[in-house]
Every structure is written in C-alpha cells, then in structure tokens.
C-alpha cells in the first residue's frame, strides 16, 4: 500500500483542553490563519503552537514539527512531496519522526472505565456495576462524540434531561455522578465543563419522606397482604434490614438459641448447583435481636418450608428481587400509596 501524501497541520495548546492537533483554516483571501485551527468541528485558538508535517508509513501516522513560520513550513512540505519515500523525507528535514499514538475514543475510554469497575478488587455489587454499564454506554450513544475532549456541557445535560420520563430525580442524579466521575478520570476539567448552577441542578436529590407508618396503618397493610408478604414485611419491620439484606437472608443466619439474626457483610451460597454471592452495602456484618413475635412467626414459616435455604426466597429457592414491585399492590390495597401515580 503506497504512503499517503504528506499534509500540513497545526499543533497547539487549546485553553482548558491541552495540546491537540487540528486542521488549518484559510481566510477569505486564501491565506492561512496561523493562530487558529479547526478541532472537534469548531474553530479554536492555536496561538501557542507550531506547524507539523503529517506523513504516513503504511497506516501509521508520523508528525514532524517545522516551526511557527507558515512560509518555511509550506516550503518544507513541498520539498517533501517532491521526493519519494519516507527515508528521503527524513533526510531532507534532518529530523527523525516520532510515532504519535492516536488518542483513545470516548467509547474506548468508557469501556475501559467500566472494565475497571467490574474488577473484583473494586468489590462493587452487580447492581452498582450495572449502573455504570447502562449509564456510560447510554451516554456515549447519546452525545455522539468521538473523543472525550469534544464533550460539551450540553452533551451531559441533554443526556440527563432525556431520562426525565423514565427515571426519578434521585436516579438521574446517580447517573450524573457516574458520568462526572468518568469524565474526571479521563482528564476533563469539570469546573470548566459544567458551571456550578448546572451542577447543583443535576446533582440534587429530593428529600425522602421518612415518616414511619402508624400502628393502624401497619395493621391495614398486614390485613391485605398474602402470608408470604406478611412474613417479608414483619422481617423488615422488626430487624431494620435493607431490601437486599432481607431478600438474601438464609435460614443458617437465624440464630435460634441466642435469639439473634446474623446479617452478613458478604456471603456465598450454592443452591441447585448455582452459586450466588451477596454483599451488603457497608460490607460489614452485624447481629440484630430477634424478638419473640418475629421468632414465633419465623418458626411457623420454617415449619411450612422445611427444605428451603432462603428465609423468604422465591418458589425456586432464590433471592427474591420483586418485593417492591408486588408490595406496591398491597400498599395500594391498604390505602397507603401516595395517590400521585397509578
């Protein structure tokens, strides 16, 4: 494959970005404007820089600096194109070209960042890694930028705003946090990219309603719930377990003799030949008291499910991830839903 013809480009320090290469810009009279260049589809300041001759050896690009005088640079380019082959060009300039690595694309950087989060050494849960995967891959598709240095404030705000119909403000704020961490890790100056007002809007999370149910409200909920969900709600209410802690609780974690329930920080269990790993949010184990009412309820439930591994698992004896989905129906039947949505 013959080498492509050499070309003249500008290599300059773009404010708030760094040293980058861009194409030359001509004025209306055909003269080259030495202090600007085209980069990322727009005209940028290139005052602090120099001209370079770009040549190719096969598919590999080489760049040779030829000073800041366009006339001299143009003469050297013509001299190069008048001779044949890279070796002659190198001899003409008297400089050994340095191979320049092409910058990684936005998509490649995103996948590398995701791979780092998936590493077991990070200790992230599958829920957390899934958040990184969905957010960053969605952002790459949404903003359509080739390089991370091309990303604009509008790319970030536009992607977060596109989630409004499907995600609550808290979820959008979490996804903004993921994008922000990725951009910062990729060398982007976030203070320059996103102003404080936009950051405040994108990162804000609504205050949660932490008003507890009254005894009367709890009685209404239990009255409309199935036996399974009565056990679920009773377990969560009397132990203070988080959702995933309760759904992954094993019968072996119930300490009958000491009237305690052991909440593991990390635990592996194999059921029907499948091994599942659980990690709590804090990664720290703890023991909580098992009061008489809860103990009696669990003993009765254990008698009905003598061979199960999970305390309140699925019909196939696995951790149940649908409590919220089905629980909403019981809350609605008990008149405890907010009444805003269906």
Indicate which CATH number applies to the domain containing 167.
Answer: 1.10.150
Residue 32 falls within a domain, yes or no?
yes
Residues 182 and 125 in one domain: yes
Q: State how far Cα 197 lies from the chain centre.
A: 22
pLDDT of residue 2: 44
Alpha helices in the chain (DSSP H): 70-82, 86-93, 106-118, 126-143, 153-161, 169-185, 190-193, 196-203, 215-224, 227-239, 243-247, 292-304, 323-333
- Kindly state the tokens that stand for 108: 């490649």
pLDDT of residue 146: 87
Whether the pLDDT of residue 283 is over 50: the answer is yes
Instruction: Kindly indicate the confidence band of residue 312, based on its pLDDT and cuts at 50, 70 and 90.
Output: very high
- Distances in whole angstroms, Cα of residue 66 to Cα of each of 69, 99, 114, 170, 244: 8, 16, 40, 53, 63
Instruction: Count Cα atoms within 13 angstroms, Cβ side, for 50.
Output: 11
Residues 90 and 182 in one domain: no
Residues 84 and 152 in one domain: no
Residues 32 and 68 in one domain: yes
Residues 290 and 230 in one domain: yes
pLDDT of residue 83: 58
Instruction: Kindly indicate the confidence band of residue 26, based on its pLDDT and cuts at 50, 70 and 90.
Output: confident
pLDDT of residue 199: 93
pLDDT above 90 coverage of the chain, percent: 45
CATH number at 219 reads 1.10.443.10
Instruction: Kindly indicate the confidence band of residue 101, based on its pLDDT and cuts at 50, 70 and 90.
Output: low
Q: What is this structure's pTM?
A: 0.52
pLDDT for 228-280, tens place per residue? 999 999 999 999 999 999 999 999 999 999 999 999 998 888 888 888 888 88
Query: pLDDT: is 193 or 4 the higher one?
Result: 193
Residues 149 and 46 in one domain: no
pLDDT for 111-165, tens place per residue? 999 999 998 888 777 788 999 999 999 999 999 898 888 899 999 999 999 999 8
Query: pLDDT: is 169 or 41 the higher one?
Result: 169
pLDDT of residue 115: 93
Structural domain count of the chain: 3
Residue 210 falls within a domain, yes or no?
no
Instruction: Kindly indicate the confidence band of residue 1, based on its pLDDT and cuts at 50, 70 and 90.
Output: very low
Last residue of a domain, one of 80, 99, 118: 99
Residues 219 and 169 in one domain: no
Spatial separation of the C-alpha atoms in residues 294 and 292, rounded to whole Å: 6
Residues 244 and 328 in one domain: yes
Domain that holds residue 255: 215-333
Whether the pLDDT of residue 99 is over 60: the answer is no
pLDDT of residue 191: 87
pLDDT of residue 224: 94
Spatial separation of the C-alpha atoms in residues 152 and 274, rounded to whole Å: 45
pLDDT of residue 173: 94
Mean pLDDT, residues 170-196: 92
> If DSSP codes are grouped into helix, strand and coil, which group holds residue 171?
helix
According to the 3-state scheme, what is the secondary structure of 54-118?
A: EEEECCEEEEEECCCCHHHHHHHHHHHHHCCCHHHHHHHHCCCCEECCCCCCHHHHHHHHHHHHH
pLDDT of residue 58: 65
Residue 338 falls within a domain, yes or no?
no
- Kindly state the tokens that stand for 91: 């001899």
Whether the pLDDT of residue 42 is over 50: the answer is yes
Last residue of a domain, one of 203, 234, 266: 203
Residue-averaged pLDDT of the chain: 86
Pairing between strand 49-57 and 60-65? Answer: antiparallel
């Amino acid at each position: 494959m013959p080498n492509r013809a050499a070309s003249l480009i500008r290599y300059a320090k773009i404010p708030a970005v760094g040293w980058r290469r861009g194409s030359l810009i001509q004025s209306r009279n055909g003269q080259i404007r030495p202090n600007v260049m085209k980069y990322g589809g727009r005209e940028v300041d290139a005052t602090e820089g120099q001209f370079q001759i770009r040549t190719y050896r096969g598919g590999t690009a080489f760049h040779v600096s030829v000073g800041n005088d366009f006339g001299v640079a143009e003469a050297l380019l013509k001299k190069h194109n008048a001779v044949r082959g890279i070796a002659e060009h190198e001899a003409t300039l008297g400089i050994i070209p340095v191979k320049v690595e092409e910058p990684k694309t936005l998509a490649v950087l995103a996948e590398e960042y995701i791979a780092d989060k998936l590493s077991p050494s990070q200790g992230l849960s599958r829920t957390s890694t899934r958040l990184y995967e969905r957010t960053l891959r969605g952002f790459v598709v949404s903003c359509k930028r080739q390089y991370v240095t091309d990303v604009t404030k509008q790319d970030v705000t536009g992607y977060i705003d596109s989630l409004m119909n499907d995600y609550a403000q808290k979820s959008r704020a979490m996804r903004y946090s993921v994008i922000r961490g990725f951009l910062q890790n990729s060398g982007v100056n976030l203070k320059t990219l996103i102003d404080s007002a936009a950051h405040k809007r994108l990162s804000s999370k609504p205050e949660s309603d932490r008003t507890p149910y009254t005894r009367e409200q709890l009685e209404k909920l239990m009255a409309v719930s199935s036996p399974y969900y009565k056990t679920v709600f009773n377990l969560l209410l009397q132990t203070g377990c988080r959702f995933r802690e309760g759904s992954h609780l094993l019968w072996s974690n119930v300490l009958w003799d000491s009237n305690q329930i052991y909440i593991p920080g990390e635990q592996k269990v194999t059921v029907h030949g499948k091994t599942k790993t659980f990690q709590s949010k804090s990664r720290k184990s703890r023991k909580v008291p098992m009061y008489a009412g809860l103990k009696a309820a669990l003993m009765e439930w254990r008698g009905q499910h003598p061979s199960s591994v999970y305390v309140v698992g699925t019909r196939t004896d696995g951790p149940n991830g649908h409590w919220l989905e089905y629980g909403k129906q019981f809350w609605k039947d008990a008149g405890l839903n907010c009444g805003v949505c269906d």
